[in-house]
Structure 1
C-alpha cells in the first residue's frame, strides 16, 4: 500500500501536467477519480500512461444534477485538481469557495500556465511559452542558433506536474494539523522560474553569461560537459566537471596534457571541443561504454527513450515497468515501507462511474435517475 493509501483525489480531466500529477498521486496509493465528459477520448484506447491507476467517471458538469453530484463527491474527497483556465470552475458552480463550503478540509489544487492572476492569466499558452518567459528557453541551444525546446519537460512536467504534487503533499500535511484545506495556485511559469534558480546565482557572481547560449559551464560550451558523436554515428555524454573526474577522462581517453591540461580555460574550450570530438569519433558508442561506463568520468551513452528500458542499469533498478503491454516509467520516488505501485492501466471511459458513486453513498435509485437524465455515463 502506497503512502497515500486512504486519500481520495478528484481530478477534473485535462492534459499534460495535471494528469501527470494525478498519476503520481495514484502511484503513491491515492484513489484518483478522473471526471470526464461523455464525448471525451477513451484513454484506455489511447494507451495514455497518465491514466494508470485512476478511476474513470463520466459526469456532465453542464447540468445542475452533474454539479450537485460532483459536490457530493467532493464531500468524500481530500483533493480536487482543477486543470482549467482561471474562472472556469467558478462558472460551472464548482469553484473553490463552493467546494470548501461543502468540505472545509479540501485541498483545491489549480493547475494553469500563467497563474490565477496577472495580465496573462486568461491567455492560452503551452510549455514553450512558459519557458520563454522565464529564460529557460533562451538558455537552451547552440550559440548563434535559435533556442531549442527541451521537449515539454521544463514547463509542463517539471514546472507543472511535479510542482502540483509538491503543493498537494504540503497542503495535505498542513491540513492534518489544522483541519483546514486551502487553494493552491500552481503555475507552470512559476515552476519553470524555480527550475532556473541555479543560474540566477551563477549570473549574480559573474559565473554565467545570460546573454549567450553555449557560452557557459552547463550549456554545451565546456568540452567536458557535452555530447559527442561516435564512430558508429551514435552519441555519448560527458559531465567531467570536478577536477578528479576530468583527470580520469584525460587518462581513459588518452588526452595529452599539453592540449587538455587547463580544464577551465574558457577561451580554449572551442578548440578543445573540436579535438575531443575527433578523439571520441575514433571508437563506437559500445567501445566507449566498455571503457568508461561505471567509472567516475561521469559518462553515459545517449539513448532513445525506447532504448532506455533495456539498459542494464535501468533493468537492475526496475526503472521501467510494463502495464497492459505498454512500457513506461515506474513509480518514483521509492518508499521503503509503503512502496508505490501501478494498480492498473488506463480504464475505459466511464468504466468506474456507477461503482464509484455507489461507494460514495449514492443510492441505486439516485444513480439510475442520473443515468436516465444523461448526467452520468
Structure 2
C-alpha cells in the first residue's frame, strides 16, 4: 500500500471511530406530555417529579422535554407530533384522553417509541402503563369507613372513564368492608384540574352530611375546603399533607420514576417492546404517604394492615361475588375481576345509589 493510500485509510478509520463515538455519546431524548400544570400538586406534578428523577438517575445520558396543560384531543395530537419531529426517542403521554392522538402520531413515526398512561390500545411502537390506583382507593375506603361519624363519605370525580369508576367502586368496597352502614355521595366535575370546581364540589358534599372526602381530581382544593369546614380528606396522586395538616388523613401517592427509568433503559439497550404495565403497592410505585399521627389508633392500624394484606394478596379489592347496583352479577364467587374487566369497568358496585353520567 502506498503511503498516501495508507494515510487516507487511517484518516477514514479515525473519522469512522470518531463518528461512532459521537453517535454513542448522543443522549436519549425523552418527551413527556401532561394534561395539567406541573404545579397542580397532583397527577401532572408527580409525573414531572418522576421526570426530574430520570434526569438525576441518568445524568447527561438523557435529555428530557415536557409540555404541560395539553388539552385532550386535537391539541394533544399536535403536541405529540411536535415532540416526535424534534427527535425524541421515546414519548410518554400521560392522560387517558391522549390515547387516540398517541396512536395516530405513532403510525406516522414508526421509529419512535411511545407509552400511554392509563389506556388500553397498543401498537408495535406504543405501550401502555398504569398504576393499580384502586389498591390505594381500597385502603382509602377502609380508612374513611372507620373515620366517618355521619356514615356518609364523599367522592369528587373527574370524568366517567373506567379508571375513575374503578376507583370509586374500590373505595366503596373498602368502606363497606368495615362499616356496613356507610353510604357514598359522588360529585362529577368533568375536569382533571379545576380548583374552583373542586372546592365547590367539596362544599356541596359537606353540605349533604359528608364528613370524609375522597377525590380523583388533581388539586389540593378539596383538602383545603375540608380543613376549613372541619371534616377529613385523603390526598390524591401526591403527598398533600401540608395543605391540610388537621384534615389530611394520608395521601395515595403515584411514584412513576421506577417505570420511567426501566423503560428508558430498555430503549438504551435495545430491548424495549410494546407491553401493558400495571404497578401497585407491592411494586412501591403506589404509596401510602404521610399518615396523620393524630388519627385514632384503630384507623392508623387499619391503614397499615389493609396495605399489607393487599401486598400479600390476602385482600383482592375486586374479589367475587360482586354485583352491580342493578343487581346483576359481575364477578363470580371464587374469582376476581381480570385486568381486562377492570380496564372496561363501566358499572357501580352494589350499594352505590347513583348513576354513571353519559
TM-score by length of 1: 0.29
Q: Which has the higher contact order (CA 8 A, sep 6+)?
A: 1
Higher strand fraction (1 or 2): 2
TM-score by length of 2: 0.31
User: Bigger radius of gyration, 1 or 2?
Assistant: 1
Higher helix fraction (1 or 2): 2
